[in-house]
Amino acid sequence: MEQLPDLHSHFCDLNLEAHMYASQWFLTLFTAKFPLCMVFHIIDLLLCEGLNIIFHVALALLKTSKEDLLQADFEGALKFFRVQLPKRYRAEENARRLMEQACNIKVPTKKLKKYEKEYQTMRESQLQQEDPMDRYKRENRRLQEASMRLEQENDDLAHELVTSKIALRNDLDQAEDKADVLNKELLLTKQRLVETEEEKRKQEEETAQLKEVFRKQLEKAEYEIKKTTAIIAEYKQICSQLSTRLEKQQAASKEELEVVKGKMMACKHCSDIFSKEGALKPAAASREDQGIETDDEKDALKKQLREMELELAQTKLQLVEAKCKIQELEHQRGALMNEIQAAKNSWFSKTLNSIKTATGTQPLQPPPVTQPPREST
Contact by Cβ (8 Å): 215, 327: no
**Residue 374, domain member (yes or no):** no
The residue type of 347 is W
Looking at the predicted structure, is the pLDDT value of residue 336 above 90?
A: no
Tens of pLDDT, residues 55-85:
888 888 888 888 888 888 888 888 888 888 8
The answer to whether residue 256 is domain-embedded is no
CA distance 227 to 367: 29
pLDDT of residue 273: 63
Which is higher by pLDDT, 304 or 200?
200
Please check whether residue 361 lies inside any domain of the structure: no
Note the pLDDT tens digit of each residue in 116-125: 788 788 877 7
End-to-end CA distance of the chain: 119
The model's pTM is: 0.35
Is 375's pLDDT higher than 80? no
Contact (CB, 8 A) for 46 and 54: yes
Q: Is 285 helix (H, G, I), strand (E, B) or coil?
A: coil
The CATH number of residue 69's host domain is 1.10.472.80
Average pLDDT over residues 284-313: 68
The whole-number pLDDT of residue 235 equals 78
CA distances from 203 to 339, 342, 359 (A): 24, 21, 11
Q: Output the DSSP codes for 333-346.
A: HHHHHHHHHHHHHH
Q: Is the model more confident about 276 or about 97?
A: 97
Do 93 and 84 touch, CB atoms closer than 8 A?
no
What is the torsional sign of CA 355, 357, 358, 359? positive
In a domain, 97, yes or no: yes
pLDDT tens-digit map of 169-225 = 999 999 999 999 999 999 999 999 999 999 999 999 998 998 999 899 889 888 888
Residue 350, in any domain of the structure: no
- Assess if residue 137 is contained within a domain: no
* Nearest C-alpha neighbor of 44 from the set 25, 23, 29: 29
Q: pLDDT band at 113, cuts 50/70/90?
A: confident
DSSP 8-class letter at 18: G
Residue 38 belongs to some domain of the structure: yes
Number of domains in the chain: 1
The CA distance from 19 to 81, in Å, is 12
Whether 48 is covered by a domain: the verdict is: yes
Given a cut of 70, whether residue 361 has pLDDT beyond it is: no
Percent of the chain with pLDDT over 90: 12
Residue 377 has pLDDT above 60, yes or no: no
pLDDT of residue 142: 81
Instruction: Give the Cα separation of 108 and 129 in Å (integer).
Output: 32
319 touches 243 (CB < 8 A): yes
Q: Which domain holds residue 25?
A: 5-129
